Amino acid sequence: MKNYDTVKREIINSTRWLVEHGFLGQLSSGGNISARVPGEKAVAITPSGKPYLTLKENDVCIIDFDRNPIEARSAPSIEAAIHIGVYQNRSDVNAVIHTHQTFASILSIINKPIPALLEEITVEIGHVVDIIPYAFSGSPELVSNVIGQLGNACHCYLIQNHGALCLGADMQRAMKNAELLENVAKIYYHALATGEEITKLTQSAIDYFADMRKLRFI
């Protein structure tokens, strides 16, 4: 029987970091995290409805792409189909983090994509943080809404009236993208609040950083 300890440990360690830094609740379990299991059509994902602060490695679920349990003591996150949909449609992604982080969630309820504003964000996340249209959590409609937006090759999205979806080539990159997204969402929110005109990167700058990004990630 295959040993999934390494990928389970990675989920627990990143969950702890995300809880400690305010991306996930300490007592609530909003949001979910997964990693692609190397060499298999399977994912390691956080369980449904368990507080993240006390999560143990044995609580992490290993499921296949049809959501059948391979090694799972609990039910997987109700958003497992979203994570699987990402892995099936984006070969550049090996880790997925869904959070209810504050400033990204603010922009998700005013339904405002984040354009290319800052160099680092445009290189790491992409030319836009687009909106995934609202549907009920756990619904097939939300899965198809997510899949419908993945073609822009970006690494972060806002789920309308819900939260954020952050992707990465590995877990470290997905966590870094969650942090970068929160920073830019906070900056954009405060800039919008001034009522002044927002300056965006020029198209030639966007193209330049898109080329740089392709060499690094896509």
* Chain positions contacting Zn ion, by CB under 5 A: 163
Strands 61-64 and 32-36: unpaired
Q: Looking at beta carbons only, is 82 or 116 nearer to Zn ion?
A: 82
The CB-of-32 to Zn ion minimum distance in angstroms stands at: 7
Least CB distance to Zn ion at residue 9 (A): 24
Residue 100 or 186: the one with the smaller Cβ distance to Zn ion is 100
Closest CA to 11 of 31, 34, 41: 34
Sign of the dihedral through C-alpha 132, 138, 97, 1: negative
Give the nearest distance from C-beta 207 to Zn ion in angstroms: 34
Length of the chain: 218
Q: Which of 134, 131, 152 lies closest to 142, judged by CA? A: 134
Looking up tokens 């504050």, which residue turns up? 102
Give the residue with the Cβ less far from Zn ion, 85 or 163.
Answer: 163
What gap in Å lies between CA 142 and CA 177, rounded to an integer? 22
Please check whether residue 57 is in contact with residue 44, taking contact to mean a CB–CB distance below 8 angstroms: no
Q: How far apart (Å, rounded) are the C-alpha atoms in residues 21 and 113?
A: 24
Tell the smallest beta-carbon distance from residue 162 to Zn ion (Å): 5
Residue nearest to Zn ion (CB): 163
Question: Are 201 and 117 in contact, with CB atoms under 8 Å apart?
Answer: yes
Minimum CB distance to Zn ion, residue 52 (Å): 13
- Residue 83 or 173: the one with the smaller Cβ distance to Zn ion is 83
150 vs 201 by CB, closer to Zn ion: 150
